Each structure stands twice: as structure tokens, then as C-alpha cells.
């Protein structure tokens, strides 16, 4: 079973935030993840654009899956995001990859795209490994 299938199997019965926000795995490789968010009427802010929290959650989830792709348990240590374009797209794609992986901390960047492949946001995140 490849990493994508393993990650999908792990998330199959996950309830809560990931399921509620309709995030789906596209591809997982070691320290890499592509995740898609299916936008619903609950994903919008009062201005009719996708809520920044929805986008941030997608970024964090993609990086978290990438950080866990080696089998280690990781939690977000810090994060920043730059919103570059308003989004009204029905789907958003997050592409996360490792910048540096250390023994206790790892650093990731994630780019988020609308359905027309416009870059809508970029985020930098660090993860702390709970296991050694």
C-alpha cells in the first residue's frame, strides 16, 4: 500500500474538523501532500468569499499530513499565512512540501490554488514531533 492509500485509510473514519470541512487527500509522498477542499455554503464569510479560516485549515491539514507521512506524530508549532487573492471557487487545492526536517521540528510551505490554478494563498508552518 502506498503512502496516499495509507493516509486515505487513516482518515477514512476520522470525524471532526477534517470531515466537517470536506478535505480530501489527492496525493501523499514522504514529506509531501496534495489535499483538496470542497467548498460548501458553510465555507464562506459574510462577503461571499471563502473564509480565511477554511483556507488556513486546509493549509494546516495538508502540512500536518505531510509531516506525518514518515510515520511520526507531529503537531503544529507555528504558522503564518498570506492571503493573495479572494476565492469563490468550488474547490481549493493545497500543495505542501517539506523545507527542512529535523529531529524535533520540521518546516513546511504550502501553496493554495483555486479551480483555475490561481494562487490564492501561501503559508509557512512548523511542526513539533511528539515522538523521538
pLDDT of residue 123: 98
CB 70 within 8 A of CB 30: yes
Residue 110 pLDDT level (bands cut at 50, 70, 90): very high
Q: Whole domain around residue 43: which residue ranges?
A: 3-129
pTM > 0.85: yes or no: yes
**Smallest Cα–Cα separation from 110: which of 101, 99, 100, 102?**
99
How many domains are contained in the chain?
Answer: 1
Q: How far apart are CA 89 and CA 114, in angstroms?
A: 6
Over residues 35-44, the pLDDT tens digits come to 999 999 999 9
Helices (H), the chain: 3-11, 17-20, 52-68
Quick one: average pLDDT of 88-94?
96
Q: Which grid cell is 62?
A: 495538508
What's the CATH code of the domain at 7? 3.10.129.10
Amino acid at each position: 500500500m502506498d503512502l496516499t492509500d495509507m493516509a486515505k485509510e487513516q482518515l477514512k473514519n476520522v470525524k471532526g474538523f477534517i470531515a466537517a470541512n470536506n478535505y480530501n487527500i489527492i496525493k501523499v509522498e514522504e514529506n509531501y501532500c496534495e489535499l483538496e477542499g470542497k467548498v460548501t455554503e458553510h465555507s464562506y464569510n459574510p462577503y461571499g468569499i471563502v473564509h480565511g479560516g477554511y483556507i488556513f485549515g486546509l493549509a494546516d491539514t495538508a502540512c500536518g499530513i505531510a509531516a506525518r507521512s514518515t510515520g511520526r506524530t507531529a503537531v503544529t508549532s507555528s504558522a503564518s499565512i498570506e492571503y493573495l487573492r479572494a476565492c469563490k471557487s468550488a474547490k481549493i487545492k493545497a500543495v505542501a512540501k517539506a523545507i527542512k526536517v529535523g529531529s524535533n521540528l520540521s518546516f513546511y510551505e504550502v501553496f493554495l490554488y483555486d479551480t483555475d490554478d490561481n494562487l490564492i494563498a501561501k503559508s509557512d508552518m512548523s511542526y513539533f514531533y511528539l515522538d523521538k
